[in-house]
Amino acid sequence: MQRETINISERMREEDSYLANVFQRYPIELVRGKGAYVWDSNSKEYIDFMAGYGVALVGHSNDKVVSAIKAQAERLITCHCSCYNDVRLEFLRLLASIAPKGLSKVFLCNSGAEACEAAIKIARKYTRKHGIVAAMNSFHGKTMGALSITYASKYREPFKPLLEGVNFVPYGDADKLEELLSGSGASIGAVILEPIQGEGGINVPPDGYLTRVRELCDRYGILLIFDEIQSGLGRTGRLWASEHWNVAPDIMCIAKGIAGGVPMGAVLARRDVMDALKVGEHSNTFGGNPLACAAAKATLECIIEDDLVGNADRIGKYMKDGLLTLKDRHRVVRDVRGLGLMLGVELRFDVKDVLMDGISHGLLMLYSGRNIIRLLPPLLIDEGIASKALSILDTLLAREEMRRGV
């Protein structure tokens, strides 16, 4: 066992020697996953509340998704969107049937950042205005356009100058947005928001905020873009997080778990908005490939047929109640927030030690800023898995309090 552990460490160092040094890495080599569990090279089991940053939406190696990928790989793996394809049509038909009202046109791509890049171009082409409003604590990706509408200076500063015309307003403060639009609205074509902020801290907007934003966009003739890359597809206990407030956007970006782990992103938009793009003005090579479309169709079928949205709502409430109990028990916890299975636990200290301690106790979790634990488990978890995770977290918080003497 000791020899194997040494070999694993050597493999980690070798991988580091090849891979660009741009990731905050966990000292763990994962080799297998099923449902809400993953296993490392030593066959140690972990409850995965990291889920590839929310990508394992329907669970690792979901049987339906795996079967769809295998079957499609034997038929046709790649087919550029310059040609028609049967499984692509089937996926698009299903996606359009569950999309927010009015979003009937789709651009397929490969990631969330790519979806946000496309949304920026679509908004500019339709409105003929280069200005865009984003929120403080937003995160939309790290490519140049997406980075321009991402708030954190640690991401932005090394790469300036970025896109011109980007304004940031406080998330949840519609008055500040109205103040900006009333003064600079002539140059602004779009507002982009995460209905619930992910990396920014699992921030849930106050009631009435998104409704007011929708009203302001309509008043000033501005497009409303929702980034549902992390919050969409059932994550929050509704198919789309914006449904909690009955607000529909003009453009919506999705990605992460849409294809069960296979890279895919998509932009959905009103027909008149998407049709502003003409042939050749935006495209890609791999977007809408049959393998990803087959996986995505199977993923959507799992979400719908297995009622994973309802499960996320039920188990999410169970999890949140459990986390609130831990908050009452542990002084190190400052706040608990989120909806469905998109949850955050804000601590009074840096969460790094808790995350690393979680690995040794068999629970994988994420950070959201320096002091917030982010929990994004697969939507298929049950009360048993949730209870076990809560028990581990209880232990971790107690150890953190002992470590810090609070």
Fold match between domain 2-58+307-404 and domain 63-305:
no
Please report which confidence band the pLDDT of residue 1 belongs to, taking 50, 70 and 90 as the band edges.
very low
pLDDT of residue 42: 94
- Residue-range domain boundaries for the chain: 2-58+307-404, 63-305
In the set 64, 256, 297, 320, the catalytic residue is 256
Instruction: Return the pLDDT at 185.
Output: 72
Structure tokens of 307? 């009622």
* pLDDT reported for residue 44: 97
The pLDDT value given to residue 405: 82
Q: Could you report the per-residue pLDDT of 360-369, keeping only the tens digit for each?
A: 999 999 999 8
Question: Is 226 one of the annotated active-site residues of the chain?
Answer: no
Does residue 23 carry a catalytic annotation? Answer: no
Q: Among residues 49, 91, 107, 139, which one is catalytic? A: 139
For the cut 80, the answer to whether the pLDDT of residue 248 exceeds it is yes
Amino acid type, 369? G
- Positive or negative torsion for Cα 172, 173, 174, 176: negative
Helices then strands (H, E): number in the chain?
14, 15
Q: Which of 28, 26, 24 is nearest to 8 (CA)?
A: 28
- Report the percent of the chain where pLDDT is more than 70: 99
Instruction: List, as own/partner pairs, every contact residues 314-318 make where C-beta atoms lie below 8 angstroms and the sequence separation is at least 24, other chains included.
Output: 314/237, 315/341, 315/381, 315/382, 315/383, 315/386, 316/236, 316/237, 316/340, 316/341, 316/342, 316/343, 317/237, 318/383, 318/386
Which pLDDT band, with edges at 50, 70 and 90, does 8 fall under?
confident
Beta strands in 300-362 (DSSP E): 333-339, 342-347
377-399 pLDDT, tens digit per residue, is 999 999 999 999 999 999 999 99
Q: Which of 227, 250, 313, 320 is catalytic?
A: 227
State mean pLDDT over 25-32. 96
Which residue from 231, 214, 389, 395 is spatially nearest to 315, judged by alpha carbons? 389
Residue 274 has pLDDT above 70, yes or no: yes
Residue 48: which residues within 8 A CB-CB, separation 6 or more? 33, 36, 37, 38, 56, 60, 364, 377, 378
Beta strand 188-193 pairing with 131-135: parallel
Is residue 139 annotated as a catalytic residue, yes or no? yes
* Residue 242: φ, ψ to 5°: -60, -20
Looking at residue 21, what DSSP letter applies? S
**CATH annotation of 63-305:** 3.40.640.10
pLDDT (tens digit, 9 = 90+) per residue, 48-64?
Answer: 999 999 999 999 999 99
Contact call for residues 376 and 53 (beta carbons, < 8 A): yes
Is 90 exceeded by the pLDDT of residue 184? no
Given the structure tokens 């296993």, which residue do they identify? Answer: 39
Q: Name the CATH superfamily housing domain 2-58+307-404.
A: Aspartate Aminotransferase, domain 1 (3.90.1150.10)
